[in-house]
Structure formats: structure tokens, C-alpha cells
Amino acid sequence: MRQPEVARLLSLAAATVLVGPVARAAVDLVLATAFLVEFLSAGHYHPLSALTNAPRRQALPVDGAAVDRWGDGGVPLVLVHGYAPAGKDEPRVQDAAALLARAGFDVAVPTIPGLTHGRLRPDDVRPVVATLAAHPAPSVMVAVSIGAGPALLAAADPAVRDRPRVVLSLGGYASALELLRFFLTGEYGWNGIHGRVVHDPAIVRWFVEANADLLDTPAPAALADPARAAALLAAPPPRVADLLARLSPERIAGEIRARLVLVHGVDDRAVPYTESLRLAAARPEGTRVVLVHLVEHVGGTRVGAGLTAARELGALILVVYGLGRVG
């Protein structure tokens, strides 16, 4: 082979090496954008579904947990749902898992037993730990709403804390005590930020009845006088104080080795955005907070326009894109 031909082949090989990663990054960015459009529109627009094949769903054998696997390749991801009566079989949980699989992730979804009833207990961390241990590493973890509790507690567990490289919390919480106070009174605050939400009485009743043991008082009494029940939280009995501490990610935030990305809607009426600020303060290094107006809680979005909405959308696209770069 003559020298000019060798030179041309070397130039072609060099170009392939340089262009390949750029092309891959461009594809990932397109998929991240398509994912976000479909997710935020609740399926009203479906660019990702139009571009990709439907993923395969199968049971993932995990000791002590009921887990589904969506897709069969890509970046390993564990999805921890929020309140979901049917757990991993809840339609909106399945929709989210399928979209993530279409976006290039190998998704494992465990059922969190307590969150099928709207209550959290320390045992709910076990299925997350077991799933992290059974799924390939390094991995990503995405936690939804109060599912951030067991997800973040699992990310600090010595048995698996080296497996996730990044944890994305969507509308999560830091303090179980503050979350309980918020549901009772509608009041929230952190570091000089204060606000109040008027809750639907039916939601308050449901939450109190599911978690009355955290108040150490009968549910009817708490519902009759929520201010008195909330006052008890200023100095809860030792048993209750210990349980609330064990359910609070802020307590173990410093033991989490993964990067934290905390996305929260400023107008979230289910979990106040101050909870993400509180968690970031507990572990500032390696933590990024993304506050947006486009998203209310996990399932609700607001139509926005102008530079602010474009900036927020761009930030969310980069969050999803960044998850796919874990390796």
C-alpha cells in the first residue's frame, strides 16, 4: 500500500474517532429532549415513542422484592416510585419506566410496599437496596416524590452506596418531621423562606389516617385539631422522634457518595421546594438544585413562555442528558 493511501486511511480513522462521540452525544441529546417533551406533556405529544421501539418488560429476580425490568441494554437505572397504589404495576409508573427505557436506559422498578398505602417506614428501604445490588453498576437512580426517602436512604447504605453514580430526586423531601408538619398545617419554611398551602381536607384525612402512628395520637383527634397535632411535633415522644429521624434523608446525606440532582417545582403543592433546599444544605458538595416553574409536582406541568421557560426547559434537558453519560 502506498504512503498516500495509508495517510488517507489514517485520516479517515481519525475522523471516525473524533466524529463518533460527537454523533453519539447528538443522538443522546435528541433522545433526552424527546423524552422530556413526552413526559411533561403526559403523552399528549409523543416524539420519543415515534423515534424508538417499545421496550420489553420482564420480571427481574430480586430476593425480597417485586421488581420489573424495562429494556435490555443501556445505562442501568433504578426507578423508585412515589405514592402508587399498585406499585410497579401502576400505569403512570409503567409509562415512566417505558419512556426511560426508550431513552436508552436499562430500567429496574421495585414496588415499595409502604408507598402503595401512602406511608413510609424504614423497611421500605430494603427493596431499593436489593434492586441496586441486583442491577448492573455503575447505575443511575431516579426517585419520585416521597419515594426520595427510601431511594436516598438506600444510596447511603454501606452495602450498595458505591453502585449509584447519580441520584435524581423529583419533588423529594429531606425531613420527615417537616413533611408531616406540612401535611398537617400546610405551612413550610427553611432558612428564611416561608409559605403556606391550603390542602384538600380529603388529602389531609387520607394522609393522617395512613400515618397516625407518626403523630402518636389517634387519627380522629389529629383531624379534629391539626394545629394541636402539629404542636406535638415540636417535642415528639422519643419513639416518634427516632422513627422520623430514620425516615429523613437529611440525616444521612453526608454518607451518600453519588452525585445528587434535586429537581423541584417552585409551585409544588404536594412537597414544598424548600425540602430540596434543605437536603442540598445537608450535603452541598456534589449536589445540584434545579428549581423550575414548568413543573408543579411530578405529574403536573404548567405551560410557560419566554426566556425563563426556555431556560428551565434547557436545564431539564441537560439533567436528562447527563443521566445518560454515567459510566
Q: What is the pLDDT of residue 132?
A: 98
pLDDT digits (tens, 9 = 90+) for 71-114: 988 999 999 999 999 999 999 999 999 999 999 999 999 999 99
pLDDT digits (tens, 9 = 90+) for 217-231: 777 777 777 777 778
**Pick from 154, 61, 58, 124: nearest CA to 97:** 58
* Residue-averaged pLDDT of the chain: 89
Q: What is the pLDDT of residue 233?
A: 80
pLDDT digits (tens, 9 = 90+) for 260-277: 999 999 999 999 999 999
Dihedral (C-alpha) 123, 214, 83, 63: value to the nearest 10 degrees?
A: 10
Beta bridge partners of 292: 265
More reliable by pLDDT, 185 or 287: 287
Do 258 and 166 form a contact (C-beta atoms < 8 A)? yes
- Beta-carbon contacts of 41 under 8 Å, excluding residues fewer than 6 positions away, are 301
Question: What domains are there in the chain, each with its CATH number?
Answer: 31-175+248-323 (3.40.50.1820), 177-242 (no CATH)
Inform me whether the pLDDT recorded for 117 exceeds 80: yes
Residues of the chain with pLDDT > 70, as a percent, come to 91
In the 3-class helix/strand/coil scheme, how is 95-159 assigned residue by residue? HHHHHHHHCCEEEEEECCHHHHCCCCCHHHHHHHHHHHHHCCCCEEEEEEHHHHHHHHHHHCCCC
Quote the cell numbers at residue 95: 409509562
Inform me whether the pLDDT recorded for 183 exceeds 90: no
